[in-house]
Amino acid sequence: MQTVNEFGHICSMVIQNSCIPFIAFYPDGRIMTCNPAFYHLTDYSGMELQELKMPDAIMPQEWSRIFSEVKSRLECTGQPCPFECEIKRKGGAHVPVEIFAHEECDEAGNVLFYYAFINDISLRQHAIEELKRSEEKYKTVFDSANDSIVIQDVDTGKVLDLNRASWEMYGYTREEYLCLRPEGFNCGTPPYTAENAQAHIARAAAGKPQLFGWHNKRSNGELFWVEVNLKRIAIGDQSRLLAIVRDITQRKHAEEEADEARSRAELYLDLMSHDINNLNQIGLGYLELAMDDPGLDARTRELLAKPFEVLKNSSRLIDNVRKIQKLKEETLHLKAVDMRPVLERVIAQYASVPGRDVSIHFTPVSECSVMADDLIADVFDNIIGNAIKHSAGPLTIDVRISPSRTNDKDWCKVSIEDNGPGIPDRLKEKIFNRMDKTTIRPNGRGLGLYLVRLLVENYNGNIWIEDRIGGDSSKGCRFVVMFPATEKD
């Protein structure tokens, strides 16, 4: 299965210049990615959306039932699901929209994430409301709409009115359009046949609104994708069938590009996680054998140690990518974890650092338990490993666990400070955002601290960086991690 994070990143690049709002989010509501058109539609910034969850983030409470129904339809059919609803902007204003929802599942059928293309239909809704009030008043909006709008008699199907976009979309004159039978519009390939189109029309005429994607053809034979919205409406005391047809070819192309991007991400991850990592392990094995040769001189041993360290770092990077993938794709199964033995095991790994004078002092409390899983060790492994890696000469690291109470809530506080070169203030906020576009050029810490942030957030904790000596960022730094405390099982 592809890396969801890679998919979100590549999809963002594919659709970032699209005028069609796009969003992808996980089953628990966390937003994975969205494009600038979505920010514009909702008036939220990317940082603000990071704090929100779907659907409550943008859907009014009265529409939550619709969202549940859509998820059920996606699960039952496995097909994209179009529907209409309202979204709420940051300031509280409600906007009518048309949403084309998809779901992405793993091989076992478990939902990995949802994604949707969204159309603001405010102008369309306005046109329909104007249509209901007065034929004269709506005519200007009706004729200037980019969507095809056709009004038919419910019983006979006779076209009573249509706008210019209706015939121009298909490349006909008004008179030619009015003479066409259903087979003149439909591509004819199942399920996009005239018979199935008539079945949709019959259901809409019976009072069951229809919203569906369809494959049509223009007068020159060119096939294109449309989205058809059929509903029965009342104009005065007469029942009419309103058909609104939108050309969604651009959106379909964006979906195809997103599918291709997802396939590429899956290929790249598989290549990196298996083939490249296997080659790394083979190289490490041979280098280790060579370095164990007792007849090796010091200079040669030093030269061999360089590629050995590079390959180790490459394997560590791949391991971090795997863990990020796991965090993004799998549901966490948390349990009560005592922090003391976790930190003791991590510290033991650095008891002896070849070629370095590193002292690690540990000050624990009797017990401090948090809700986490086995990956919690990676939080502290990355922090301590980075302190050693990005320093030179003698180094002292102090690790402390202590209970804390903030805002009437019990926390387990872990601080890790070192007397290394420190972290400049301008990097303190960015250092955990390795994957952000603004920090695409890293500060040397790779994906490790990005993984740390993801893990801490998944455990409902907080993390930040302080100067070891207040006001002097060159005298070492202190990582502070706070997890909600819990009773150990």
Average pLDDT, integer, range 32-43:
89
Domain range annotation of the chain: 4-123, 135-247, 332-489
Mean pLDDT of the chain: 82
CATH architecture of the domain 135-247 equals 2-Layer Sandwich (3.30)
- The confidence score (pLDDT) of residue 149 equals 92
Say whether pLDDT at 438 is over 50: no
Average pLDDT, integer, range 376-393:
89
- The confidence score (pLDDT) of residue 80 equals 86
CATH architecture of the domain 4-123 equals 2-Layer Sandwich (3.30)
Write out pLDDT tens, residues 110-123: 888 889 899 998 88
Tell me if 4-123 shares its fold with 135-247.
Answer: yes
What is the SS3 assignment for the chain? CCCHHHHHHHHHHHHCCCCCCEEEECCCCEEEEECHHHHHHHCCCHHHHHCCECCCCCCCHHHHHHHHHHHHHHHHHCCCEEEEEEEECCCCCEEEEEEEEEEEECCCCCEEEEEEEEEECHHHHHHHHHHHHCHHHHHHHHHHCCCEEEEEECCCCCEEEECHHHHHHHCCCHHHHHHCCHHHCECCCCCCCHHHHHHHHHHHHCCCCEEEEEEEECCCCCEEEEEEEEEEEEECCEEEEEEEEEECHHHHHHHHHHHHHHHHHHHHHHHHHHHHHHHHHHHHHHHHHHHCCCCCCHHHHHHHHHHHHHHHHHHHHHHHHHHHHHHHHCCCCCEEEEHHHHHHHHHHHCCCCCCCCEEEEEECCCCCEEEECCCHHHHHHHHHHHHHHCCCCCEEEEEEEEEEEECCEEEEEEEEEECCCCCCHHHHCCCCCCCCHHHCCCCCCCCHHHHHHHHHHHCCCEEEEEEEECCEEEEEEEEEEEEEEECCC
Lowest mean pLDDT among 267-271, 399-403, 455-459: 267-271
Percent of the chain with pLDDT over 90: 30
Reported as a pLDDT band with limits 50, 70 and 90, residue 371 is: very high
Give the CATH number of domain 332-489; options: 3.30.565.10, 3.40.640.10, 2.40.33.10, 1.10.579.10. Answer: 3.30.565.10
Say whether pLDDT at 313 is over 50: yes
Write out pLDDT tens, residues 389-434: 889 889 999 999 999 888 889 999 999 999 999 999 888 878 887 5
Say whether pLDDT at 4 is over 70: no
Say whether pLDDT at 444 is over 50: no
- The confidence score (pLDDT) of residue 275 equals 66
Percent of the chain with pLDDT over 70: 84
Average pLDDT, integer, range 31-54:
87
Write out pLDDT tens, residues 331-349: 667 889 999 999 999 999 8
Write out pLDDT tens, residues 96-110: 999 899 998 888 888
More confident residue, 357 or 313: 357
